Amino acid sequence: MNKTVAKMYKPNIVKFALNIWPPFWGAGIKILYISEDFRNVKIRLKLRWWNKNANRTQYGGSIFSLTDPVYALMLMGILGERYFVWDKEASINFIKRGNTDLHAEFLISQDVLDDIIEKTAGGEKSFPEFMIFVKDTHGQVVSEVQRKLYVRKKPKYRDSED
């Protein structure tokens, strides 16, 4: 993220941008909440006729997409322009069919942030992992999505070894 983007990177702007972003909008994904400190995000995946699969339940690709950029965007908001943040890998475990709207909550704790900051201080890479539990409207887990990120401090912000 460059300095210009960092200045405009606010929760309400990110929420608005993601809610009109075609991959989210078309899939029925809506950002419901982003905390002011970017440490908590809540998302809903609406069950619509166009995002149902052949079994008339939530399309798995939409469930996976619901989790796609979220932790990376959260860390970008928290860490700011001094860090590179990318999704590195992900996997999904489908547990039961999603035949209602689905919800997911994303949280980043202070311990996770402290670990990332400590590991990346001298330019090292950090690969934090997160588990997202996608739930139906009854609170039942429909899928578990594991996400691993790549985080590294940009060269000009790394601690020097002088």
Distance CA 4, CA 50 (A): 37
pLDDT in tens, the chain (162 residues): 667 666 788 999 999 999 999 999 989 999 999 999 999 999 999 998 888 888 898 989 999 999 998 999 999 999 999 999 999 999 999 999 999 999 999 999 999 999 999 999 989 999 999 999 999 999 999 999 999 999 999 998 887 553
What token pair was written down for 147?
């996400």
H/E element, 129: strand 129-136
pLDDT at site 162:
38
H/E element, 109: none
Provide the β-strand partners of residue 132: 145
- The identity of residue 69, as a single letter, is P
pLDDT at site 137:
96
pLDDT in tens, 90-133: 999 999 999 999 999 999 999 999 999 999 998 999 999 999 99
Provide the β-strand partners of residue 89: 148
Specify the pTM.
0.91
The phi and psi torsions of 14 (rounded to 5 degrees) equal -65, -45
